[in-house]
Amino acid sequence: MYLVVGLGNPGTQYEMTRHNIGFHTIDYIADELNVKIKKLKYKALYGECEINGEKVYLVKPQTYMNLSGDSVVEFVRFFKIPVENVIVISDDISLETGRIRIRPKGSAGGHNGLKSIIYQLNSDEFARVRIGVGSPQHADHDLADYVLGRFTKDEIPVLEDAIIRSYKAVREIIGRGVQSAMNKYNGK
């Protein structure tokens, strides 16, 4: 059993923002697998599906980014999902727009959603699929404004491609493991 969590902020004011790329990826996966992300439980919208013969919960925490761990820990505890079977999809400002980076574990790297999940799980031993959203062009640009900003017209096709590759990476992680996914998709 796996938990695939896309990070983002609930509410229409956050749709199509850089910080919500995790939500967009969960929506894409759900569309591809004909799954409805409509159930509300454990402070999240979620749906159930099967990927590579494994039961998978697709989750969009509704707690706002900084409290994502509150939702994730409840799913992990209730469904008894091993931490190593948790896959978190998030934005990454240190990666060029559209690049993805897969890691089997590690620090939050300054990402408040990941920080919350690590804190609540008391572990950093879960896989991450981080999608590059670029960084502000000016050093004095407010980081919060940047990640809560909307994608430009030019960025949208690049990020749509990154979302598709991220879904393939999730399938690879579930089917063949994190290392295989890293070999196939890191840096692309």
Catalytic site positions: 19
Q: Which two tokens stand for residue 21?
A: 């790329």
Residue listed under structure tokens 């050093």: 139
Q: Which two tokens stand for residue 10?
A: 């609930």
